[in-house]
Amino acid sequence: MPDSRNQRSKPKAITAARPLWLDRVRYAKFVVGQQIKSLKRDTILANRMCGLTEAAASLFSGLGLNAAFCQYGKGNHENARKLLSQHGPNVRRPYRVHKALWLAGFLNDVELCDRLMRSWKHNGVRVKAVTDRLYAGLRGETDDWFIGYRDAHRQKLLDAYFPNKSVPRDERDAVLDSDKRILLLTSHGPGDEISFAKILTAMREDPAVSMDRISMTCDIRLHSLMRRSFPEIDFIGVHKVREIGADGTTWRDYRNLPFYGLHVIMDHAVTDRLQEFDHMMFVPDFLYRYRNFVYRDDRAYLFADPAKIVECRAQLPNDKYLVGLNWRSMIVNSGRDADYLTIEQLAPVFELPDVTFVNLQYGEAGGELDWVEERYPGKLITLPGLDLTNDFDGVAALMMNLDLIVAPSTTVTGVAGALARPILLLCNSLNSINGCRQPDGRDVWFGSVRHIVSEPAGDKARLVARLCDEIAACVRGATAVSKDTPSELDVVSQN
């Protein structure tokens, strides 16, 4: 029986001579088309509603949801909860459904999460896979959480523009075990990429998988770190961006792609080598297959450059307990703010004796660093010449010289966890508390993580107080190990 996938229409040939204006028109047409489809779906739902009252509730539910987010951002959590309880069940668009459930998680209200999901399913509202994953995380259902990581939306892009190389979901395990040349694609940020890379160790130990026929994309900033840690895999460094214009990119940088929406997955480094691969699949497709390995394996799987470790060591004080500190990511909004702290809120930790903090805050943080130096001179040091945003190899080397690392769920946590460095992970909402922990309380990804949770969840002052207690306990329990003692990585590299 012929393969039906080969009968799909093929994408138009990729050509560098294609006018740039034509690509922009095609992209605009796609965006407008998606909006029209969404409008049609909402119209159909509205027409099916019985009664003017329910129709009006649907019309104003979006405004009510936005009002709930505003109240949450202002710290009025009870008002936000009331607005969400009133308007959340009436939202219809998948994007708003996801936002409503997200907000319920940040309000630390499991009962409200359950009530919203029951209401949407009862009303026939479409709940996307990413929302199901969020719900599983909020409830601490890690197996379902891993299943939800499959990129349904981005898989459609592969099906549409690379039909001869995409693989149906129920065939992906068999293809991974076959003798075909496979390109594994990463489609998340660098922090998630690092977490997902843990399954590469499982693949390495899986007798059914031949690593020499697997290639994998990675953020260009992770390329050297990944190649050192998994030398048997052919890594392709790509410059992925959330949106065109970020990091100085332009439309022209991605004109070799058959569709601009693919810029979140790949660049020309992939399209230039397409003929080498039989199939393309996403890395998260195999998280569920290797979930038991991810849960139980606590070994380091990324390895810093030994020479850079020594260089960093020479620039750090060797008579202090060194704590790496990160307090937010580069993306700050009312949702993520629940787990992030301001530098002012962290002030109590700088009063701890016998501790020197080392800056791990990437992005623009000059004003915050000046604030600390003015009030607590010498308490927070920054390694000169190290680009904390782009030099992941240097950051990994720095972390190997630290006694402890403190961070919320950011890329810093991913790098430190993959290096098996001790971490205090700041958790202040259901999204981070249940979404990052197994039923026995251990971290889903990394065995070296200890979760710092405020009681009640959402109280940042108590979160910082708990953090201070944990750091002080770590200092008291620290063993007297000389900084001159060769690290495990030094010994491995010498052998």
Residue 2: per-residue pLDDT? 44
Q: Which domains does the chain have, with CATH numbers?
A: 4-13+151-296 (no CATH), 20-140 (no CATH), 306-494 (3.40.50.2000)
Give per-residue pLDDT as tens, 321-331: 999 999 998 76
Query: 126: pLDDT confidence band, cut at 50, 70 and 90?
Result: confident
- Say how far apart CA 116 and CA 95 lie, in whole Å: 14
Q: Which of 12-16, 105-109, 395-399 has the lowest mean pLDDT?
A: 12-16
Nearest to 232 by CA among 248, 249, 221, 216: 216
pLDDT at 8 over 60: no
Query: 177: pLDDT confidence band, cut at 50, 70 and 90?
Result: very high
Q: Which of 225-234, 259-268, 461-470 has the lowest mean pLDDT?
A: 259-268
What own/partner pairs with CB < 8 Å and gap ≥ 24 does 78-81 have?
Answer: 80/107, 81/107, 81/109, 81/112
Average pLDDT across the chain, whole number:
83
- Say how far apart CA 147 and CA 135 lie, in whole Å: 12
Q: For residue 143, what are the contacts with CB-CB under 8 A and spacing of at least 6?
A: 288, 291
Residue 406: strand, helix, or coil: strand
Cα-only R_g, the chain: 24
DSSP-derived secondary structure letter, 165: T
Give per-residue pLDDT as tens, 264-300: 899 989 999 999 999 999 999 999 999 999 988 999 9
In Å, how far from its chain's centre is CA 317?
32
Residue 338 token pair: 């629940």
